[in-house]
């Protein structure tokens, strides 16, 4: 919101309200898309449901293309958007830990909160595990993680800069990768579900491939 309008129109307090409203809408869309269903979320790892990949890639590409267009039209200054410095080693380690939790628990932190809001017990337990991990990290930081956290420092950079590509070219490549991933994951899903009986597919909310 901030880079789009001057502070005189949207001040910091109003920004918080807009953020709250966007969060409510985002949570509603997650629930409406079935992203509070652990079977649908974990399905991408087991090969029977590619919905997560399709939604995530579509959202990322829509945001990237939208920001690029608005930047070129002068509606937003991308340089004013904030992103943290890159430390690639802890990023990979954290991603592996989160991925393992995703597979085991069937949620990511965001979807677990949405699911908990609908009263799902497994999501509430998952959130408890998230807080255990947070406090475990805090109390063991000096002993185990202080060196890891600052390793692999790359500064404020992104993949396009790291590869030496323009933002437009990188986004174009990622759009191609997105469509290719849709095709590959759909084939993978079809190969994993073709031998499943209809009752199991109904429980997962899927249709048996022709």
Tokens standing for 16?
């918080």
Give the residue among 15, 162, 156 at the shortest CA–CA distance from 170.
Answer: 162
Least confident of 40-54, 59-73, 122-136, 156-170: 40-54
Between the alpha carbon of residue 64 and those of residues 33, 78, 131, 170, 189, the distances in Å are 21, 11, 32, 10, 27
202-208 CB contacts, 8 Å cutoff, 24+ apart: 203/39, 204/39, 204/40, 204/43, 204/48, 204/49, 205/34, 205/37, 205/39, 205/40, 206/48, 206/49
Alpha helices by DSSP H, the chain: 12-32, 38-46, 51-72, 88-105, 109-117, 121-140, 146-149, 159-163, 167-193, 198-204
**If you average pLDDT over residues 147-160, what whole number do you get?**
83
* Per-residue pLDDT tens over the stretch 108-152: 888 898 899 888 999 999 999 999 999 999 999 888 888 888 888
Check if the beta carbon of residue 103 is closer than 8 Å to that of residue 171: no
Tell me the pTM: 0.70
Q: What does the pLDDT read at residue 203?
A: 57
Report which DSSP code applies to 10: S
Cα dihedral 114, 116, 118, 121 sign: positive
Share of the chain above pLDDT 90, in %: 13
pLDDT: is 198 or 39 the higher one?
39
Give the residue among 96, 119, 104, 92 at the shortest CA–CA distance from 42.
Answer: 104
Half-sphere exposure of residue 76, counting CA atoms within 13 Å on the CB side? 17
**Domain boundaries, given as residue ranges, for the chain:** 2-204
**At residue 54, does pLDDT exceed 90?**
no
């Amino acid at each position: 919101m901030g880079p789009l309008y001057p502070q005189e129109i949207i001040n910091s307090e109003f920004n918080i309200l807009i953020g709250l409203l966007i969060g409510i809408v985002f949570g509603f869309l997650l629930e409406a898309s079935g992203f509070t269903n652990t079977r649908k979320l974990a399905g991408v790892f087991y090969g029977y449901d590619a919905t997560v990949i399709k939604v995530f890639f579509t959202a990322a590409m829509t945001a990237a293309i939208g920001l690029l267009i608005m930047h070129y039209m002068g509606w937003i200054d991308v340089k004013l958007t904030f992103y943290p410095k890159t430390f690639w080693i802890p990023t990979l380690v954290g991603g592996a830990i989160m991925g393992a939790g995703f597979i085991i628990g069937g949620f990511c932190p965001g979807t677990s909160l949405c699911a908990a809001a609908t009263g799902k017990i497994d999501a509430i337990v998952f959130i408890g595990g998230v807080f255990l991990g947070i406090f475990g990290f805090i109390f063991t930081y000096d002993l185990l993680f202080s060196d890891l956290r600052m390793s692999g420092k790359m500064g404020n950079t992104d993949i396009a800069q790291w590869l030496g590509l323009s933002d437009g070219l990188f986004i174009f490549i990622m759009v191609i990768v997105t469509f290719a991933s849709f095709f590959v994951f759909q084939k993978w899903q079809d190969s994993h579900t073709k031998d499943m009986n209809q009752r199991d597919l109904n429980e997962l909310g899927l249709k048996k491939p022709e």
